[in-house]
Amino acid sequence: MLDIKFLKENPEIVKQNIKNKFQDGKLVLVDEVIKLDDEIRAVKQEGDNLRSIRNKISKEIGGLMAKGLKEEAEAKKQEVTKNGNRLEELKAKETELAEEIKKRMMVIPNIIDKSVPIGKDDSENVEVERFGEPKVPDFEVPYHTDIMERFNGIDLDAARRVAGNGFYYLMGDIARLHSAVISYARDFMIDRGFTYCVPPFMIRSDVVTGVMSFSEMEAMMYKIEGEDLYLIGTSEHSMIGKFIDTIVKEEELPLTLTSYSPCFRKEKGAHGLEERGVYRIHQFEKQEMIVVCKPEESPVWFNKLWQNTVDLFRSLDIPVRTLECCSGDLADLKVKSVDVEAWSPRQKKYFEVGSCSNLGDAQARRLKIRVSGKNGKYLAHTLNNTVVAPPRMLIAFLENNLNEDGSVNIPKALRSYMGGAEKIIPKK
């Protein structure tokens, strides 16, 4: 959410930013906010004047009573009552206007970084850099669920009977591999100085609206019926929410945390062949990283965060590339975002396995995450990035470490988490 002072002083900048995000339907909101803010200022001014008059009259009443002029005092009291009624009306009007302003400010997109490429959607994202040599083996690489089934490692049919489409059972070596990747990612981030955390897996609505846009919320979140609770779509939601309505001492920054959680997502809409299996699902587990820092430090942390993901995937012999998200592909709160994509030997192309985002002070403004510094209080900047999210990450792992005989190599970095095994052998 933008600072309303910035919007009023720079309406054309805000409007151009809306155009850059191809959301022209929101242009009218800028003028509406300015008009509503002028109205609320007028209401506040009238209220201040009435309170001043009331205080003056109250003093006059005391003087009249002291002189025994009861009739004149009663007339003044009626004036005070009339003013009081008007003040109540103004208070209700102020609350109504404030809510209308907030409603509009919550959907006006954040100002994107100048380096963000302008484009309508993810088809116009820009490749930045490749890490590792993408290879295609001489043999045919099966679909990822076929690889898993050779290890008796997945049961989608049973999951459909139990929970419906978009769920899975992982078993045996594949389930162990899944847990090994999560454990390795946890230790990888701890070794890089991040504090490990297991957060709540449900959050209240004030946290949900603080960390994401309404459109994201509707498309992603599962609500607990009858309660003000939502299942998290990523632990970033809980982790940023941890600091709601707090004041952090400047010397304690940056706060660097890595968190494990299950994630729950609606994943609305129909998807193609490549998004079946365990690519796009309603439930998965993820290791996340978040940073709360000074505003001037967020660009540096942004680059550190996506580099962590690149380094982790390369340590598991998986080629990756980074993709700069264009303006139209950025969620409303984001200032800048980079996707990390892994190489798929079967598809002969890259696919998304993580996303790194700088949200500037948008989440901090909504959640009131402030920093106390030597020059006063200011809003923190928040960032988040996926460390690893199996089972999608398993697709890249299995394809890139698959041998012609169906076995899968275990990179050195992961062997201690797999009982020392150098490879896993299919059951069929």
Which of 105, 132, 164 is the endpoint of a domain? 105
pLDDT in tens, 360-409: 999 999 999 999 999 999 999 999 999 999 988 999 999 999 999 999 99
- Assess whether 63 and 206 both reside in one domain: no
Strands 336-344 and 195-197: unpaired
Q: Examine the domain organization and report whether 343 and 387 are in the same domain.
A: yes
Of the given ranges (71-80, 84-93, 295-304), which has the lowest mean pLDDT?
Answer: 71-80
- Pair 362, 227 in one domain: yes
Range of the domain at 400: 122-424
Q: Using the predicted structure, report yes or no on whether residue 262 has a pLDDT greater than 80.
A: yes
Is residue 259 domain-shared with residue 339, that is, in the same domain? yes
pLDDT > 90: percent of the chain: 82
For residues 131 and 86, membership in a common domain is answered with no
Q: What is the pLDDT of residue 66?
A: 67
pLDDT at 380: 98
Any domain includes 321: yes
Among the candidates 70, 105, 140, a domain finishes at: 105
Question: What pLDDT is stored for residue 58 in this prediction?
Answer: 74
Establish whether the linkage from the previous residue to 11 is cis, with ω within 30° of 0: no
To the nearest whole percent, how much of the chain has pLDDT over 70? Answer: 97
Q: What is the pLDDT of residue 53?
A: 83
3-class state of residue 17 by DSSP: helix
The overall pTM is greater than 0.75: yes
For residue 182, give the CATH number of its domain: 3.30.930.10
Please check whether residue 303 lies inside any domain of the structure: yes
**Predicted confidence (pLDDT) at residue 269 exceeds the cutoff of 70:** no
How would residue 57 be classed by pLDDT, with cut points 50, 70 and 90?
A: confident
Which of 221-225, 269-273, 331-335 shows the lowest per-residue confidence on average (mean pLDDT)? 269-273
Q: Are residues 203 and 323 in the same domain?
A: yes
* Domain edge (last residue) among 105, 133, 150: 105
Residues 192 and 88 occupy one common structural domain:
no
User: Does 40 share its domain with 129?
Assistant: no
pLDDT digits (tens, 9 = 90+) for 161-192: 999 988 999 999 999 999 999 999 999 999 99
Question: Are residues 392 and 268 part of one domain?
Answer: yes
Rounded Cα distance between 200 and 235, Å, is 8
Report whether pLDDT(213) > 50: yes
Give domain status of residue 111, yes or no: no
Whole-number average pLDDT of the chain: 93
In sequence order, what DSSP letters do the residues of 92-155 get, joined into one string?
Answer: HHHHHHHHHHHHHHTTSPPPPPTTSPP-SSGGG-EEEEEES-----SSPPPPHHHHHHHTT-EE
- Residue 357 falls within a domain, yes or no? yes
Q: What is the pLDDT of residue 273?
A: 44
The pLDDT, as a whole number, for residue 62 is 72
Domain-located, residue 114: no
- Average pLDDT on 309-324 reads 97
- In the predicted model, what is the mean pLDDT of residues 75-98? 86
Is the domain of 207 the same as that of 234? yes
Q: How confident is the model at residue 271 (pLDDT cuts 50, 70, 90)?
A: low
- We report the CATH number of the domain holding residue 84 as 1.10.287.40
Decide if 229 is inside a domain.
yes
The CA–CA distances, whole Å, from 351 to 167, 230, 321 equal 20, 29, 9
Domain assignment of residue 115, yes or no: no
Look at the chain and report how many structural domains it folds into.
Answer: 2
Residue 270 pLDDT: 44
Q: Which two tokens mark 193?
A: 């100085």
Q: Are residues 96 and 165 in the same domain?
A: no
Kindly report, residue by residue over 88-110, the tens digit of the pLDDT.
Answer: 889 999 999 999 999 999 999 99
Within-domain flag for 116: no
Long-range contacts of 413-418 (CB under 8 A, 24+ apart): 413/184, 413/315, 413/316, 414/180, 414/181, 414/184, 414/316, 417/179, 417/180, 417/181, 417/183, 417/184, 418/176, 418/177, 418/180
181 and 290 part of one domain: yes
End-to-end CA distance of the chain: 54
pLDDT at 343: 98
